Amino acid sequence: ETPAPALDCGQRPPEDEHNIGIPADAGEVLAEIGDPRAVAPMLDRIDDFFGLHYSLAKMPDGVQALIDTLADPDGDFGVRFAAASRLGAATTRRDDAMQALLDIVASRTQDVLMAAVSSLGILGDGDQRAIDALKALVADEQVDEGARVTAEKRLAYISRNA
């Protein structure tokens, strides 16, 4: 069996203009290769290197990992927020990503609601399920005003193609 692709992020290099994007670039290459064995090492360092979320959103197993991360209510807030943010960029398993975002919006999970609304407003372009979910959110006066305003903006954007 071929060994898993290497993503050696064990030691963080000093951040300067020459190497700040190296782990994210490595993630992009691994996403292009598409080897599902790359997902675990990318997840291990996901909170250190923000760009890895984008790479995961391009891989079927990566999208599932983002969904699982988002679904864990006891998970790290920053990682869950980033997962919600990046599911809008899913290029594969889009329906699964959409359902995960719809679930967050329906549950009104406050800590990641804004990110889920923003992603839904990208992934749900022209999708009636997203439009209905955002309309319900806008009408819910119990929801944080910032989330409602974001939902209104995203609703205007995605409704144009419905």
What does each of the 162 residues of the chain score in pLDDT, given as a tens digit?
Answer: 554 444 444 444 445 444 455 667 777 888 888 888 888 888 777 766 667 778 888 999 999 999 999 999 898 888 898 889 989 999 999 999 999 999 999 999 888 999 999 999 999 888 999 999 999 999 999 999 999 999 999 999 898 766
Q: Is residue 105 within 8 Å of residue 70, measured between CB atoms?
A: no
User: Which pairs from 146-153 meet CB under 8 Å and 24+ separation?
Assistant: 146/114, 147/113, 147/114, 147/117, 150/114, 150/117, 150/118, 150/121, 151/117, 151/121, 153/121
- Give CA–CA dist 153/91, Å, rounded: 23
Residue 155 structure tokens: 């609703």
> What pTM does this model have?
0.79
Q: Which residues contact 62 (CB under 8 A, 6 or more apart)?
A: 31, 39, 42, 55, 56
Burial of 113 (0-12, 13-18, 19+ CB in 10 A): buried
- Give CA–CA dist 118/150, Å, rounded: 7
Question: Sign of the CA dihedral 93, 134, 149, 70?
Answer: negative
Q: Is residue 138 within 8 Å of residue 108, measured between CB atoms?
A: no
